[in-house]
Each structure stands twice: as C-alpha cells, then as structure tokens.
Amino acid sequence: SPDIVATAGSLLKTILEHNDERMKCLFLTGAFFFILSYPGSNFVQLAHLLLCSHQRQAFHSADDAGTKTKLAEKSFLGSILPESLLHILE
C-alpha cells in the first residue's frame, strides 16, 4: 500500500536522522536499492530519506572522506545514479 511505504520512509528518516552511527550504515541494509526499485509514484517521503542520508554513508575509507570534491564521489548514490540526478535531489 502507498500509505505504508510513505509511513515507513518517514519513520526511517525520523529514527535515523539523529542517530549517526546507524545512519552511516544504512547502505549496508539494501534500503537504497529497495527505494530506487519502488514502482509507486508516492516518492516524496522516500526522497526525503534519500536526501538526508545519501552523503552520510560510510562507504569510503576515512582517508578518502575529506578529499572528495564531486557530489557523485561524496554520495553513496553516485555509483547508482547519474550525478545530475544527485544535484536535483540536493
């Protein structure tokens, strides 16, 4: 149901936005792939979750974390989506 998806996206965002340790590991759960494969049209809450989380993922080494300059390099979604879509998300 579309309402369940919207509520789940909102709930995840609320829980994770103030929990940095869990937020950094969201990419390990497969949540980004499930979000991007969702066929529904009610994408607002899921987009909010992507916005608050895509640059906060710990998918690169600590040495590389501060040296990235392009949005596609900073974002976990940079390997999945074109950089132009990441700029739209921002």
Contact predicate 40/2, CB 8 Å = yes
pTM over 0.85? The answer is no
What integer pLDDT is reported at residue 11 of this predicted model? Answer: 93
What is the reported pLDDT for 67?
A: 60
Residues 26-79 pLDDT 10s: 888 888 888 888 999 888 999 888 888 877 776 655 555 556 667 777 777 777
- The region that residue 26 occupies, defined by phi over 0 for left and psi between -120 and 50 for alpha, beta otherwise, is alpha
Q: How far apart are CA 32 and CA 65, in angstroms?
A: 20
